Amino acid sequence: MHHTYPLLNVQVRTPRLTLVGATDDLLERLVPIIRDGILDPGQMPFDDPMSLYEDSPQREWKWLRGIWAGRARADPQWWRFYFVIMADGSPVGMQDLIGTNFAAFGTVATFSWLRPSFRQRGFGTEMRSAILHLAFAGLAAREASSEAFADNEPSNGVARALGYEPNGTTWATRRGHPAPLIAWKLTRKRWERIRRDDIQLTGVRGLLAGAGTRSGVAGAAVRGACQG
């Protein structure tokens, strides 16, 4: 289905999953997962404020409002592109790409969550590989960053597996309690070493104006890396 809003037409396909622009229909299909909760008892992988720590139904309401607000803002100064992860024909999580003053810096950050039953099966690494391909091959990013609490080994393990380098530490609160965060960075040069040829991009031209890309560089990247 073609959408009037071009950000919803973007897809990133890998052999195992597809990242699809987060339409309201797909978000509704994710609501039962959010309602049931995606966190195990005592698990605190996200920094504050975080709607996923709330009790239902505030959890679902705040989660939807946050996506709607972020999705509505897409300008060169700040953007957040929301993607639903489709695997085995069903939505199983989300993967976001975030840029701040991207035209000047060319840097992005990522955020994601995954349905519990799909964890420890390689999907975390696969979906991060997909969003990095969009950033570097589709938008000509210079560098990608990520942060994870020191005890969040799954997220830190994905960063190590994909060639990120440690980039210092900081502190943040989760449910009001302070905890150390590990910062990671992945340069374009390091990404090129592990660049895959089995990831397809569709509809990326629709992102360019909102992302505030360096048009010449990004345009060349899009022509060489995607379809549609």
Residue 64's domain comprises 6-146+197-227
Reply yes or no on whether the pLDDT at 217 is more than 60. no
Give the model's confidence band at 216: pLDDT under 50 very low, under 70 low, under 90 confident, else very high.
very low
Q: Is residue 160 part of a domain?
A: no
- How many domains are contained in the chain? 1
Cα 130 to its chain centre, rounded Å, is: 9
Per-residue pLDDT at 74: 83
Give the model's confidence band at 155: pLDDT under 50 very low, under 70 low, under 90 confident, else very high.
very high
Per-residue pLDDT at 156: 97
Residue 112, class by beta-carbon neighbours within 10 Å (0-12 exposed, 13-18 middle, 19+ buried)?
buried
How much of the chain, in percent, has pLDDT values that exceed 90? Answer: 80
DSSP alpha helices (H): ranges in 24-57?
24-36
Q: Is residue 49 part of a domain?
A: yes
Beta strands 74-75; 226-227: pairing state: unpaired
Q: Is residue 28 part of a domain?
A: yes
User: C-alpha distances in angstroms, 68 versus 57, 71, 205?
Assistant: 17, 5, 22
> Do the beta carbons of residue 141 and residue 152 sit within 8 Å?
no
Q: Is residue 206 part of a domain?
A: yes
Q: Is residue 154 part of a domain?
A: no
Per-residue pLDDT at 73: 86
Beta strands in the chain (DSSP E): 11-13, 18-21, 74-75, 78-87, 90-100, 107-114, 143-149, 165-174, 177-187, 200-202, 226-227
Judged by average pLDDT, the poorest of 12-21, 103-112, 176-185, 202-211 is: 202-211
Q: Is residue 170 part of a domain?
A: no
> CA–CA separation, 158 vs 57, rounded Å?
31
Q: Is residue 104 part of a domain?
A: yes
| CATH number for the domain that contains residue 28 | 3.40.630.30
125-129 long-range Cβ contacts below 8 angstroms, 24+ apart? 125/158, 125/161, 125/162, 126/14, 126/16, 126/17, 127/17, 127/19, 127/85, 127/93, 127/95, 128/95, 128/158, 128/162, 129/14, 129/162, 129/196, 129/199
191-220 average pLDDT score? 78
Q: Tens of pLDDT along 60-98?
A: 999 999 999 999 888 888 999 999 999 999 999 999 999
pTM for the whole thing? 0.92
Per-residue pLDDT at 160: 97
Between 207 and 176, the higher pLDDT residue: 176
Q: Is residue 171 part of a domain?
A: no
